Amino acid sequence: MLKIIQNLVNFFKNTANIFKQQEKSFKFNVVRVILAHFFIYLVLPLQSIYVISLGLSPAQLGWVTGSAGIIGGVVSFLAAKKVKTYSLKNYFLMTLLCISVGSFLLAIAKNTFMASLGIGTFMFSWYAMMHLCPAVCGLCLNNDIRVTAMQTCDMLASLPKVVAPMVGSSLVIAFRGKQNITSGIPFLYYIATLGFCLTFILVWKWFSDPNFLIRTREMNFDRQDVDRSGGIQDLFKQRKGTNLKLLVLTLSLIQVPWFISTIFVPLFAQQAKGANALTIGLMQSAFWGCTLLLAIPAGRLADRIGRKSSITIFLVISIIAFLCLIAAQSQLVLIISGFLQGFLFFSLVTSGGMSAESVPKMFIVEWFGFQGLIKGLMAQLGPVIGGTLWGFFGPYSAIFLMIGCQLAAILLLRMLPETQGGLSSKISVSTSEIIKQNLAETSLDN
């Protein structure tokens, strides 16, 4: 027993040391993520059920959220080109303001139009916020601890995600009175709106851009040289660019189940398996409980055995989770499935680390902006295809689609090189870019 306690103490000390060693922007970004996701997951488990009750069909829900996803991707892609001139801080402020508007619209929604506008604004803001969040990690973290540090961030961010769904479900039950489940949901959106506004104020007062980005801006590099080089487009055209194209396809396939599951798994649990509000809340809590308990071990595994092998393991367990969801005959199995689905999130975080290691550091923001555009397309296609299949072939077809995407991603991973040593080291860039990158890193070191 004493040894177990000692191991736990050492574990938390190591976690604290990893966190302390990072720069201020990474630390406060963790705070921003914790706050924003508490209020997102306060409402998210019941969001699809709520908007369906206001008149949207599953197919319409897929189209609305899909359109929001692609708009979020386009916005993040365009914003990434301007971040070096402006800042990530302004970008995060903009997305927080938009998501608070979306939350308020859902709070006052009384018909299909208001529900569509509200959920569209809410999901667009969330996706846009999510697309450039990894740029902070990409600019602040070193390869040797990259995934461990990212999973540490996600472990800390999992705390509110475990609590929020249960709090949300309990408040809905308390405020619905003798009416149906959806009557208490607007109250949650009022709370979320206030929470997003509070997070906006905190980011405005205390968040700052990563040091690398600030140094690059202060050195006032000649943007014409970088523009003439072609940037990310130039990397794709080179011989090793084939790996980048294959990587983008693989990352996209890993993203599709995430966008589908966020919208349709709670709805599937309710309509196909008869889950009540409490079970749906427990499924979400179990999902984030998995990340809370296993995030750092998952990160250490990825840093030890490599990105490809660890992502494959996580995807296999995620597939098992969705098979459990299909076969579930009890509420307990649904909750177990929710816990195992947490490995889908591990695959997302690890693939994010893999992505950050795939290009030279000076292209990190543009790279994640481009990734945001691709993810936006997946956020469009995933829910649209999932909702359409649901409408024509029933709810089980959406779950099989997620399993198929994960199987395809596992096959494509076998064709990619490992990035932990730096796929970017195998990709040549123009002389002017190398000089600029070295100058920026030297300035940062000094």
Structure tokens at 179: 């009416």
pTM: 0.69
Structural domains of the chain in order of their starting residue, each with its CATH number: 24-445 (1.20.1250.20)
Helix 307-327 vs helix 342-356: angle between axes, to the nearest 10 degrees? 160
Separation CA 349–CA 259 (nearest Å):
14
Separation CA 418–CA 307 (nearest Å):
7
Residue 440 has a pLDDT of: 44
Helix 241-271 vs helix 364-393: angle between axes, to the nearest 10 degrees? 40
Residue 7 has a pLDDT of: 64
Q: For each of the chain's 446 residues, which pLDDT tens digit applies?
A: 666 667 667 666 666 676 677 777 888 888 898 999 899 989 987 888 888 888 888 778 878 887 887 788 788 878 877 766 668 888 899 999 999 999 999 999 988 899 999 999 998 898 888 877 777 877 777 666 677 777 777 777 778 877 888 888 888 877 765 556 677 788 899 999 999 999 999 999 888 888 777 776 656 544 444 444 455 666 666 555 457 788 888 888 988 888 888 778 888 898 888 888 788 888 888 888 888 888 878 888 888 888 888 999 999 999 999 999 999 888 899 999 999 999 998 998 888 888 877 777 777 777 878 887 887 777 777 877 888 888 888 889 989 999 999 999 999 988 887 765 444 444 444 434 433 444 344 333 43
- Within 176-274, residue ranges assigned H as helices are 185-206, 211-219, 223-229, 232-237, 241-271
Q: Phi-psi region for residue 238, left (φ > 0), alpha (ψ -120 to 50) or beta?
A: beta
Structure tokens at 317: 């367990």
Residue 285 has a pLDDT of: 83
